[in-house]
Amino acid sequence: MEENEIVCWHWDHSKGRIVKGMNILTGFYTSENERGIIRTPLTYQLIAKSETKIDLQRNKTKRISPVRGNEMMREKISVQIRGQVKFSYILADSWFACGENMRFIRKKRKTFLFEIKDNRLIATDKQERSKGYFIRIDQGVIPDETPIQVWLKDLEFPVVLFKQVFFKQRSINRGSYANQPAKQ
């Protein structure tokens, strides 16, 4: 299929490479009651890459969306809040784990759970943070599956960080996750 603003090349972080296809932002509502788990899509948006720019590193033209995915996510959350959808938690992968999104979600009095990339900078206590002493998550001594409070470099409030270990056949993957309880 010929490339266009909907079907084009984009980075697929789950595959760790560039793929050709549609880039889609989907928001699901999940709830559990005595009858089971309900999972239904509330938002769905095809990301149209209608603009082009020159990638100076590769000396190639690439397509970009005029609206960034993080902006789209915040707008979708705002629409659900205005629509009075009752929810408390927002789960997203590392693509959406920027400080601006965390601040936004906290301001909306919701709780987030984001996967965090291992190269993010953290301080393990308030004194380290005030002195500007930060280390990479993958260089810190963070115990597996034990939550600890840390300060991300680009945030003014602490988050709870925990590492989870995943065993897949013969490999071990570790994921770091940040969580901030909603303001009371």
User: What span, in angstroms and rounded, lies between the C-alpha atoms of 18 and 113?
Assistant: 26
pTM beyond 0.95: no
User: What span, in angstroms and rounded, lies between the C-alpha atoms of 137 and 154?
Assistant: 14
CB-facing half-sphere around the CA of 63: CA atoms within 13 A? 19
- The residue-averaged pLDDT of 69-88 equals 94
Any idea of the CA torsion for 108, 112, 118, 122, to the nearest 10 degrees?
Answer: 60
Which tokens sit at 181? 């309880």
Per-residue confidence at 78, pLDDT binned at 50, 70, 90?
very high
Indicate the SS3 state at residue 72.
helix
- The partner residues of 170 in beta bridges, in order of sequence, read none
Decide if pLDDT at 174 tops 60: no
- The residue-averaged pLDDT of 103-111 equals 95
138: phi then psi, degrees, rounded to nearest 5:
-75, -5
pLDDT of residue 5: 92
Indicate the SS3 state at residue 19.
strand
User: What span, in angstroms and rounded, lies between the C-alpha atoms of 88 and 107?
Assistant: 13
Contact (CB, 8 A) for 48 and 56: no
Kindly report the average pLDDT of the chain as a whole number: 87
pLDDT of residue 62: 87
pLDDT of residue 73: 95
pLDDT of residue 184: 45
Decide if pLDDT at 53 tops 50: yes
Per-residue confidence at 60, pLDDT binned at 50, 70, 90?
confident
pLDDT of residue 183: 54
User: What span, in angstroms and rounded, lies between the C-alpha atoms of 40 and 171?
Assistant: 33
Query: Between β-strands 121-123 and 148-152, what pairing exists: parallel, antiparallel or unpaired?
Result: antiparallel
Report CA-CA distances (Å) from 63 to 19, 45, 74, 97, 106: 13, 17, 22, 23, 32
CB-facing half-sphere around the CA of 149: CA atoms within 13 A? 10
Contact (CB, 8 A) for 174 and 164: yes
pLDDT of residue 175: 61
